[in-house]
């Protein structure tokens, strides 16, 4: 049963549309779905909303620390309301998943994600849920930092935006603790497919020369 939904990102207009803020995009979509407004609460170092669904109190949180201090915000709210790690879901950008695809995961390592790293440290546990939002990989490890701090292409952003509301269909299951059903629903979403390779040009015939009809260069 999820009681705290967290979206990760960096504060500030310069980061708003970057891949690293995909967790914010998802939580904003969740807030719209629940008709909630997120308001600043300095006690929890972030913007927060609270509601009740089926008699259960739910919290929405976007840390307004920078990414590498996300746990400061999550830990403060979780400790005050005595929330267990397994009652927390953290939405974040994921390099190893294609744009347009989301995966639900419980526990495991932070895999180098600085937001998750700090949440691990502040909760003292890795046993919380993650909603991994695919942003794709640049193909070169040395380019990862630049990649996540840049805006996705229009095609990738559209694929991610299409996936977010579809994933919210699993919200009742997440609230009820039906995590297996939620996982199956979220994982059925189709990822963005790579564009097919261009067809090769036809081989030149004997009359047109080595560059075919384009033998003018």
Provide the CB-side half-sphere exposure for 85 (13 A, CA). Answer: 16
Among residues 196, 189, 143, 183, the alpha carbon closest in space to that of 163 is found at 189
Domain of 155: which CATH number?
3.40.50.1470
The per-residue pLDDT for range 189-213, each reduced to its tens digit, is 554 555 555 555 555 444 433 323 3
Name the helix (H) or strand (E) containing 103. Answer: strand 102-106
Among residues 154, 152, 151, 162, the alpha carbon closest in space to that of 191 is found at 162
**What are the backbone dihedrals phi and psi of residue 206, each rounded to the nearest 5 degrees, phi first?**
-65, -25
Does the pLDDT value for residue 121 go beyond 50? yes
Task: Determine how many CB atoms are found less than 10 A away from the CB of residue 161.
Answer: 14
Count of domains observed in the chain? 1
> What's the pLDDT score for residue 202?
53
Of 20, 92, 113, 189, the active-site residue reads 20
Contact 110, 117 (CB under 8 A): yes
Cα–Cα distance, 118 to 75 (Å, whole number): 9
Please give the residue range of the domain that contains residue 125.
Answer: 4-214
> What's the pLDDT score for residue 103?
96
Does the pLDDT value for residue 30 go beyond 90? yes
In the annotation, is 156 catalytic?
A: no
Q: Which two tokens stand for residue 189?
A: 């979403």
Question: Which residues contact residue 33 at a Cβ distance below 8 angstroms, ignoring those fewer than 6 apart?
Answer: 165, 168, 171
């Amino acid at each position: 049963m999820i009681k705290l939904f967290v979206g990760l990102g960096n504060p500030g207009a310069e980061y708003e549309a970057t891949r690293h803020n995909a967790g914010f995009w998802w939580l904003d979509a969740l807030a719209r779905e629940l008709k909630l407004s997120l308001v600043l609460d300095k006690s929890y170092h972030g913007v927060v909303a609270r509601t009740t669904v089926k008699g259960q109190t739910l919290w929405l949180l976007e840390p307004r620390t920078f990414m590498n201090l996300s746990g400061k915000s999550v830990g403060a709210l979780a400790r005050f309301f005595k929330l267990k790690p397994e009652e927390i879901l953290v939405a974040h950008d994921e390099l190893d998943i294609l744009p347009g695809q989301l995966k639900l995961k419980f526990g495991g390592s932070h895999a180098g994600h600085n937001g998750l790293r700090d949440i691990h440290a502040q909760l003292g546990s890795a046993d919380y849920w993650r909603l991994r939002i695919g942003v794709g990989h640049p193909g070169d490890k040395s380019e990862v930092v630049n990649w996540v701090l840049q805006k996705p292409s229009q095609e990738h952003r559209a694929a991610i935006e299409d996936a977010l509301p579809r994933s919210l269909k699993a919200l009742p299951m997440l609230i009820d603790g039906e995590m297996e059903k939620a996982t199956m629903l979220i994982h059925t979403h189709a990822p963005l497919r790579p564009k097919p390779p261009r067809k090769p040009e036809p081989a030149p015939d004997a009359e047109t020369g080595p560059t075919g009809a384009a033998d003018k260069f």
